[in-house]
Amino acid sequence: MLLVSMAAQGQSTTGNIYGRIPAQAGDTVVLNNGVGLTRSVNIDSQGRYNATQLPVGTYSVTVMHDGKEVQRRDNVQLKVGAGVDVSFGGEAAASATANAKQLASVSVSANALPPIDVSTVDSRTVVTAEQLAKLPLPHTAEAAALLAPGTVNSSIGASGINGSPLISFGGSSVTENAYYINGFNTTDPMGSNGGITLPYGSIDQEEVYTGGYSAQYGRSDGGVLNMVGKSGTNDWHFGGQFLYEPSSLRASQDNTYYQNGLPPTPVAGRLYSPNNQNNAWHSTYDIYLGGPLIKDRLFLFASAEMEQQQGNAVGNVTAGTNTHYTYKTPKWYTKVNWNITDSNLLEVTGASDVYKTSGTMYNYDYNALHDTSLNGQAQSNQTGGTMWSGKFTSYLTDSLTFTALYGKMTTYLYNQVPGYNPDLAYISGATNQNPDLNGGVPNIGEQTLRYAPTPNANNKTTNLRLSLTYVLGSHTLTAGIDNLRASANGHINITSGPGYNWIYGYTSHPDQPLNASLGVPALSGYANGAGGYYVQKYINVDGGNLTSVQNAQFIEDLWQVNDRWLLSLGLRNDGFTNNNKLGQAYMRQTSPQWAPRLGFSWDVNGDGSFKVFGNAGRYNLGSPLSPGGIANGVLRTREYYTYSGIAPDGTPTGLTYVAGPVASNNFYGQVFDPRTVTVKNIKAMSQDEFMAGFAKTAGPNWVYGGKLTLRILRNQIDDYCDTDTVFAKAAAQGVVGADATNNASCYYINPGVANTFSIRDSSGVFHDVRMTNAEMRFPAMMRKYYGLEGYLEHPFDGTWYGKVNYTFSRSYGNTEGWGQSSQGSAGGTQNTQWDYPELMYYGGGPQGNDHTHQIKAFGYYQVTPEWMVSANLSLMSGGPKFCYGLYGSDPFNTSTNDPDGYGSSYHWCNGQPSAPGASGRLPWIKQLDLGVHYRPEFAQHKLGFSLDVFNVTNSQVPLGVNSTLYTDTTGTMNPAYGTPLTSQPPRYVRLGVTYDY
């Protein structure tokens, strides 16, 4: 029977307990969590009670009548965001030992009924600390999130600010997710590249949302990783864990080879990357302590974790180096809970998750396969960050609850090189050097840093949330605000050394213009150009301080229509403002942007054995800070030369000027009025989502269900650089001086629809110029995802737990969102999509994160009280292949093959249109992980030993391949086309020892 409930939806840290009491059986219900919190709620005239926003934990629920205990239920496990139906009466009332029915979505106690949460309307997976400890998983929050259906790893191996792999939810790009720790938003504000996470052993519960969350939360149209950290109890506990992955038990990674011919100066024949020469060991130390500072009132939990990996990584032959590296990830977590009174609670959280890298680089002999001489120090990086937050909860009355959360976070983008020499230029493309001038050995120079160090770069974030919840009869009403502010400080990208890089190139057609659209002529008319060898002097300066303000207001009603039907009715308004380094708004979306959220839950049989649910909602996503670099001005130019020699430091000598400086997007360092950076009335990125599903018990030990999901991207934001078309229309309307001298060369737009540009004339007056989508020559913008999921689950019964799910899905369209994985772009608008119309022609098809079939199965079996085995299986069909070539049916006609100056970036392959997936699919990805745990009885099961084997079959299929067909606009073939860029990690073994007191 579904009763009035307020399951704390969204990125919450709480849940609720509710139920029904027979008439005259009691007048109040008392709930106690064993750590000092006692809450009493009244039973209404219909025999119902509802205790909202309770901290997660284990409760006893007691029915009181005239001040005396009538009946009690112990060991009621409350999961994050879930509702627990603890009803009394009938058979349940007759048995004092009967268990409460737990309605969380993943884990139940050994003798609980199968879990169907009829009090929620969303789609989530909750992974408990017990499951995290038992399943063979890498110790990251993202690895746990991959247990959820419809989640996949980045195909380009993108990693977040803490070094962990980024993941895609339901067709979205990997940078459209949100991260939370105890209710505080820890998402990377710069590029949405993940977020800071908890030490693995400090996660009490991880809630993974794949859609349908309430109006109380937003800023994600992908998924949500909500981590609830552990808290102290009335008993002191301490313990630790040591994990070790020895290099001797790690299989070799397969080498990769050129798949499309050879470069002018092959280093070692077809060998592209000698991956089997890489080796590494990995260790993790973890300690924790928790207990009462003041019994029943004040509690502490603290932990620290240190991950370290040491090894070597040989770069591909174009890099020419072997890096001997050390990676360290120190983490800590502290939480203080204060039960001020039974009605007022305060929790303070502090956490840090920092990723540090350092190393030494050696020149490498790819034929003899060994280091030769010292090249220099590798770049030392420090990313990740530190946060703190405070949350206050006040139960003002039985029906009225107030919550307030405030916190701050600092994330880092530090990089430095010990002994950095600002006089040395960075060398790239060394395999394209003239072999007659380098002795047949590519000279990569001694500068190891492409961009100058930024030792003081950081981001600041503050998050304020206030909400008021009122239970009014059959309605649970919640209203509040959710404000987030962020700033980027000291972010400057400047080419290293003397301020420029040297990029060597080669064309097999020196008699053709090297880049006709940019005015770069053929090399044959210049000294030393007949052989096709040239070099570019590349200069880049961008970045600067940026700020953003994201304010939201929400209201929600959970309406218990009757005992079986629950409706969730919500409305959210998001406002976004992004400012340049002068504090001027260059993107403003503060007019009401309504995001309705509607959902229902139907308890079909009235006993929690069969649930049908559905929801529909809109989700708005503000722009991260990183795309704002254009608003601060960008200098990005190239000068072209031929050369007659190569100096010992790798720099070219005997230069003959050919062309430049040129810039594909007119990026010559101008800083324009912010009104000429973004179109007028731009809409935030938004997505509509529709979901319907069911869950049903099959006997006392099984649950099965299914769900259908449809996601439609309604609005996208990207940069548009075909401004000459806009200037031409402005001139036709009589605007004088409509050009890149007075206006930005790239605007932020909503692709696929009409946009209104603010154009400044030569006298400084602004004019509105409306461009229809047809005038911009774009196709309609589209990203759609649909997925059909089915699952079968056996809750843990004291012996074993298992779950298997299958997902059939399609992610298709002509945009991936905040990113373009097919071209190696993880996020932001720094990709080629929508820059020019020609780049979008034939761009529709499956997107880079599209995997049609997914099968996931995981579980564990308690063989004896001492021994347990576990497994995690993933089978996934491969993603689409891409081919980016030169434009049009004649790829060697330099007057037409690169209309936008982007080189081999068009959906054309060998003179034929090449939509995504037209070149085929990558192979299936198969991964089996196994584990065994031993907790001996002689140590009272407090001491544990573990052995986990990852990728048991040592499958190493490619996850992403090079998709660029040509190296220049003359039609020189890219020998690395089709060569794997990322592959499955090889088999490795993890050994562990744990002690918990």
Q: pLDDT tens across 237-284, in order?
A: 999 999 999 999 999 999 999 999 999 888 999 999 999 999 999 999
Using CA atoms, how far apart are residues 721 and 745, in angstroms rounded to an integer? 6
pLDDT of residue 325: 96
Cβ-Cβ contacts under 8 Å for 582 (sequence gap 6 or more): none
Categorize the per-residue pLDDT at 460 as very low, low, confident or very high, splitting at 50, 70 and 90: very high
DSSP 880: B
Residue 180's alpha-carbon distances to 46, 332, 405, 551, 904, in angstroms, are 38, 16, 12, 17, 40
Report residue 48 as tokens: 């119902």
The pLDDT tens digits of the residues spanning 650-661 come to 999 999 999 999
Report the DSSP pairing between strands 151-153 and 703-715. Answer: unpaired
Q: Which residue has the higher pLDDT, 954 or 741?
A: 954
- Please give the structure tokens belonging to residue 623: 């722009």
C-alpha Rg value of the chain to the nearest Å: 30
What pLDDT is attached to residue 828? Answer: 57
Q: What DSSP string describes 981-995?
A: EEEPPPPEEEEEEEE
Task: Cite the DSSP H helix spans in 129-273.
Answer: 129-134, 141-145
Amino acid, single-letter form, for residue 543: G
Q: How confident is the model at residue 11 (pLDDT cuts 50, 70, 90)?
A: low
Question: Which pLDDT score is estimated for 724?
Answer: 92
Cα Dmax for the chain: 103
What pLDDT is recorded for position 110? Answer: 31
Do residues 907 and 843 lie in contact, with contact meaning Cβ atoms separated by under 8 Å? yes
Nearest to 160 by CA among 413, 439, 441: 413
Cβ atoms of 670 and 635 closer than 8 Å: no
Phi, psi of 231 (to 5 degrees): -125, 160
Domains of the chain: 14-88+104-113 (2.60.40.10)
Question: How does the average pLDDT of the chain come out, rounded?
Answer: 90
Closest by alpha carbon to 236, among 173, 309, 289? 289
Predicted pLDDT at 4? 41
Segment 27-45, tens digit of pLDDT: 888 988 888 888 888 888 7
In the structure encoding, which two tokens stand for residue 442, read together?
A: 């590519």
Tokens of 474: 């059959």
pLDDT at 23 over 90: no
Output the 3-class SS for 569-611.
EEEEEEEEEEECCCCCEEEEECCCCEEEEEEEEEECCCCCCEE
How far apart are the C-alpha atoms of 993 and 286, rounded to whole Å? 11
Instruction: Please name the residue that has the structure tokens 């600041």.
Output: 460
Model pLDDT for residues 882-919, shown as the tens digit of each residue:
999 999 999 999 999 999 999 999 999 999 999 999 99
b or e along 346-357 (b: 16 or more beta carbons within 10 Å of the residue's beta carbon)?
A: bbbbbbbbbbbb
Q: Is the peptide bond before 661 cis (omega within 30 degrees of 0)?
A: yes
**Pairing of the two strands 565-579 and 533-543:** unpaired
Task: Decide: helix, strand or coil at residue 438.
Answer: helix
For the chain, what's the residue count? 997
- 925-939 mean pLDDT: 96
Cβ count near 234 (within 10 Å): 14
pLDDT in tens, 386-406: 999 999 999 999 899 999 999
Q: How far apart are the first and last CA of the chain?
A: 40
Cβ atoms of residues 64 and 28 within 8 Å? yes
Distance separating alpha carbons of residues 568 and 216, to the nearest angstrom: 12
Q: Are 105 and 608 in contact (CB under 8 A)?
A: no
Tell me the average pLDDT across 205-228.
91
pTM of the model: 0.91
| % of the chain surpassing 70 pLDDT | 95
Q: What mean pLDDT do residues 408-421 have? A: 89
| Of residues 269, 327, 342, 266, the one with CA closest to residue 32 | 342
Tens digit of each residue's pLDDT (9 = 90 or more) over 548-599: 999 999 999 999 999 899 999 999 999 999 999 889 999 999 999 999 999 9
Confidence of residue 157 (pLDDT cuts 50, 70, 90): confident
The pair of structure tokens assigned to 428 is: 């790239």
Alpha-carbon span 830 to 825, nearest angstrom: 7
3-class DSSP assignment, residue 435: helix
Q: How confident is the model over 65-124, as pLDDT tens digits?
A: 888 888 888 888 888 877 788 888 743 343 333 333 332 332 223 334 436 888 888 888
CA distance 852 to 880: 10
Q: Is the pLDDT of residue 673 over 50?
A: yes
* Cα–Cα distance measured from residue 171 to residue 155, given in angstroms and rounded to the nearest whole number: 12
Q: CA 66, 71, 76, 80 torsion: positive or negative?
A: negative
Residue 416 has pLDDT above 60, yes or no: yes
- Cβ atoms of 877 and 852 within 8 Å: the answer is yes
pLDDT digits (tens, 9 = 90+) for 862-875: 999 999 999 999 99
The per-residue pLDDT for 24 is 72
Q: How many CB atoms lie within 10 A of CB 734?
A: 9
